Amino acid sequence: MATDDDLAAEWEAMGDDEEEDVGAARVLNQDEIDSLLGFDETTSGESDTSGIHAIVNSALVSYERLPMLEVVFDRLVRMMSTSLRNFTSDNVEVSLDNITSIRFGDYLNSIPLPAMLSVFKAEEWDNYGLLVVDSALIYSIVDVLLGGRRGTAAMRIEGRPYTTIERNLVERMVNVVLSDLSAAFDPLSPVTFRFDRLETNPRFATIARPANAAVLARLRIDMEDRGGRLELMLPYATLEPVRELLLQMFMGEKFGRDSIWETHLANELWNTDVELDAVLDEVVMPLNDVLNLKPGSRILLNAMPNSTIDMRCGNVSLFNGKMGRKGGNIAVRISHRLRKM
């Protein structure tokens, strides 16, 4: 058997090995720590983050998917292609880049300026949405509507406010888009999107709390050698009245509803036997008196031969009536219905 000295020597040798392993561990420098946490200065100008910072952000903006909303936006793209061709008398192609979920505050901070922010209201849902037109599309629409020649890029003068003519022309285009958006939602739920105001400062276009979730659809509008981007943002609070409809996988989904079985079940329920109790009278007694009841004890009721009888199913009163006799049986004639069937 090993002595205490042998065990102590073996334990000391194991401790020395662990110290050597710890000493061999690699120590991270500050740049590697920043890269791991997602705060690398070399990538600060890019929109994509990495590391733990990206994991936290992705968890905060993870919201449920709305399949029917993709169908609505696909219908919107087809309608806008036709309506904008009629509006501009030019060859217009509309495409849907992506549909994402984003926090409202993050989106306002990411809007490239200059731009026009159109605030619109969903009348039936009693809430607001945002339609952002970038500067490239603004100048392209103005150039097309005012007779600019094809093959020449729209002239952009940065650093100046938009003129009244430019704002009016963009407002006309926004009304066309909102009309198509209303028509796209019609098969799902009738709604009217009404233009409210036009802003150039994102701070004045706040329609939700910065931390609130929103759905962002990015559209690309091309008119041969001209065009730009159109971004449609709908907060989840705005879509809440039709959330159940947007969760469907396809139009008219009933989640396995069987109308034949429902009809059969309803017919069988009408033939179900239900027990009715005719209550002559009730007496409230202390628990002590109830426990002292013995064979031969009497309970006095206030019911008279012409008193009203309460007809109950379980604890639910259904009818009132009068006590009588029919043939050799005791009967109750119903005088009032207390509950609608």
3-state secondary structure of 154: coil
Q: Are residues 180 and 328 in the same domain?
A: no
Regions of the chain where pLDDT drops below 70: 1-26, 34-64, 149-159, 249-258, 340-341
Q: Is residue 41 part of a domain?
A: no
Q: Are residues 156 and 241 in the same domain?
A: yes
Q: Are residues 226 and 324 in the same domain?
A: no
Task: Tell me what pLDDT residue 65 has.
Answer: 72
Q: Are residues 308 and 238 in the same domain?
A: no
Task: Tell me what pLDDT residue 194 has.
Answer: 92
Domain CATH number, residue 112? 3.40.1550.10
Single residue among 246, 263, 281 that ends a domain in this structure: 246
Q: How far apart are the first and last CA of the chain?
A: 90
H-helix or E-strand spanning residue 222 = strand 213-223
What token pair was written down for 153? Answer: 């890029």
Q: Is residue 2 part of a domain?
A: no
Q: Are residues 242 and 109 in the same domain?
A: yes
Q: Are residues 287 and 158 in the same domain?
A: no
Q: Is residue 51 part of a domain?
A: no
Q: Is residue 216 part of a domain?
A: yes
Amino acid identity of residue 148, one-letter, is G
Q: Is residue 39 part of a domain?
A: no
Q: Are residues 219 and 306 in the same domain?
A: no
Q: Are residues 85 and 225 in the same domain?
A: yes
Q: Are residues 76 and 171 in the same domain?
A: yes
What token pair was written down for 213? Answer: 């979730």
Q: Is residue 78 part of a domain?
A: yes
Task: Tell me what pLDDT residue 61 has.
Answer: 46
Residue-wise pLDDT for 131-171, tens only, equals 999 888 888 888 888 877 665 555 555 667 788 888 899 89
Which residue has 């998917």 as its token pair? 65
**Sign (positive or negative) of CA dihedral 260, 262, 264, 266:** negative
pTM recorded for the entire structure: 0.56
Q: Which residues contact 262 (CB under 8 A, 6 or more apart)?
A: none
Task: Tell me what pLDDT residue 55 has.
Answer: 55
3-state secondary structure of 117: strand
Q: Is residue 309 part of a domain?
A: yes
Residue-wise pLDDT for 56-98, tens only, equals 555 444 455 778 888 889 999 999 989 988 888 888 888 888 8
Domain count across the chain: 2
Distance CA 301, CA 64 (A): 62
**Domain that residue 123 falls in:** 67-246
Q: Are residues 104 and 209 in the same domain?
A: yes
Q: Are residues 165 and 309 in the same domain?
A: no
Distance CA 155, CA 50 (A): 38
Domain CATH number, residue 310? 2.30.330.10
Task: Tell me what pLDDT residue 68 has.
Answer: 84
Q: Is residue 230 part of a domain?
A: yes
Q: Are residues 113 and 237 in the same domain?
A: yes
Task: Tell me what pLDDT residue 46 has.
Answer: 45
